Amino acid sequence: MEFETYSLARVVHVIAVILWIGGVAMVTTVIIPAVKKLKSKEDQIKTFEEIEGKFSLQAKITTLLTGLSGFYMLFELDAWSRYLDYRFWWIHAMTLVWILFTLVLYVLEPLVLHKLFRNYAESNPVKTFRIMHRAHWILLLLSLITTAGAVAGSHGWYWFK
């Protein structure tokens, strides 16, 4: 294993995760609450779509970099057997969170969610933003639990022995 290449992959992985999950945290804790306070549904929809459209590109790039660097590190370490060891639950969690976000960003959002959001937000913006906000909270909490587990586990602290 080329140590410098592996180290670079880890740096890319960590930076990509920071930008990705940090962005999700910003959307969840700041942007959606601010958008929900706008007076008109037209302003809510327009503002959210403008911000979401810009963050969507960042999220797509960072999830791609996260996946590529993560799978590269697993390959280089030949660490596939960790998927069979419950002490490495956080690797399963990282993979699951990555798959969920990748499906949403690359498949569901462009093909289904954008149209659904537009239709439901037009007819019932309060309910639409409430559901969307809850979904973001769930994804953020899953991401933070996963991140905590990954940091602890990669430094040798196993919550389950």
Number of helices (H), then strands (E), belonging to the chain: the values are: 6, 0
Query: Rounded to an integer, what distance in angstroms lies between the CA atom of residue 87 and that of residue 33?
Result: 37
Is position 57 within any domain?
yes
Please give the single-letter amino acid code of residue 22: G
Is position 160 within any domain?
no
Which residue has 């799978």 as its token pair? 71
Is position 159 within any domain?
no
Is position 147 within any domain?
yes
Is position 33 within any domain?
yes
Note the pLDDT of residue 149: 93
Which residue has 């670079």 as its token pair? 8
Note the pLDDT of residue 157: 80
Q: Inter-axis angle of helices 89-103 and 125-154, to 10 degrees?
A: 150
Note the pLDDT of residue 132: 93
Is position 65 within any domain?
yes
- Determine the 3-state secondary structure of 135 from DSSP: helix
- Domain extent at residue 67: 3-154
Is position 22 within any domain?
yes
Tally of structural domains, the chain: 1
The segments of the chain whose pLDDT lies below 70 read 1-3, 159-161
Q: What is the pTM of this model?
A: 0.88
For residue 160, the 8-state DSSP code is -
Question: How many Cβ atoms sit within 10 Å of the Cβ of residue 77?
Answer: 11
Query: Rounded to an integer, what distance in angstroms lies between the CA atom of residue 9 and that of residue 144?
Result: 21
Is position 45 within any domain?
yes
Note the pLDDT of residue 155: 85
Note the pLDDT of residue 2: 60
Rounded to a whole number, what is the distance in angstroms from the first to the last CA of the chain? 29
Q: Are 41 and 122 in contact (CB under 8 A)?
A: yes
